[in-house]
């Protein structure tokens, strides 16, 4: 995967479980629509209102095809509506990044 969409969420810290449900739903939807779901990440220690989602694609064309399929996906639309209705996402930012291949997935040395 050469392109990763890095999504930063600012959340209502009192609704983290609603965001967990939202993220779990994407676990089914994103792969079905063509995205390589790296994962969603909730706050654990420290800041209690930031979360992240990472979705990888082969290239920009693959991302555009994914977006088209996502807009047509009934469960995807329902998940967006769930977030809007419950207002647990206060802000969302997307950044597209490239992996430095020589640094990705390096296991710890024992």
Map out the domains of the chain as residue ranges. 3-96
Give the model confidence (pLDDT) of 37-58 as tens digits.
Answer: 999 999 999 999 999 999 999 9
Residues paired with 10 in a beta bridge? 50, 91
- Give the strand order in the sheet containing 50-57: 36-41, 50-57, 3-11, 89-97
What DSSP letter does each residue of 54-88 carry, written as one string? EEEESSHHHHHHHHHHHHH-HHHHHHHHHHHHHT-
pLDDT tens-digit readout, 11-22: 999 999 999 999
pTM: 0.90
**What are the b/e assignments for 20-38, b being 16+ CB within 10 Å?**
eebbebbeebbeebbbbbb
Least confident of 26-30, 61-65, 96-100: 96-100
What is the C-alpha to C-alpha distance for residues 32 and 19, in angstroms, rounded to an integer? 20
Q: What is the pLDDT of residue 51?
A: 98
Rounded to 5 degrees, φ, ψ at 72 are -90, -5
pLDDT at 69 exceeding the cut of 70: yes
Q: Degrees (nearest 5) of the Cα angle 88, 89, 91?
A: 150
Indicate the CATH number for domain 3-96: 3.30.70.100
Residue 1 has pLDDT above 80, yes or no: no
What does the mean pLDDT of the chain come to?
95
pLDDT at 101: 84
């Amino acid at each position: 995967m050469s392109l990763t969409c890095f999504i930063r969420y600012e959340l209502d810290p009192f609704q983290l479980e609603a965001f967990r449900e939202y993220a779990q739903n994407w676990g089914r939807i994103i792969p079905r629509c063509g995205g390589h779901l790296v994962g969603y990440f909730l706050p654990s220690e420290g800041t209690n209102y930031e979360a992240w989602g990472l979705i990888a694609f082969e290239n920009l064309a693959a991302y555009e095809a994914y977006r088209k399929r996502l807009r047509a996906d009934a469960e995807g639309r329902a998940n967006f509506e769930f977030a809007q209705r419950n207002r647990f996402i206060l802000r969302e930012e997307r950044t597209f990044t490239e992996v430095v291949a020589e640094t990705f997935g390096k296991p710890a040395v024992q």
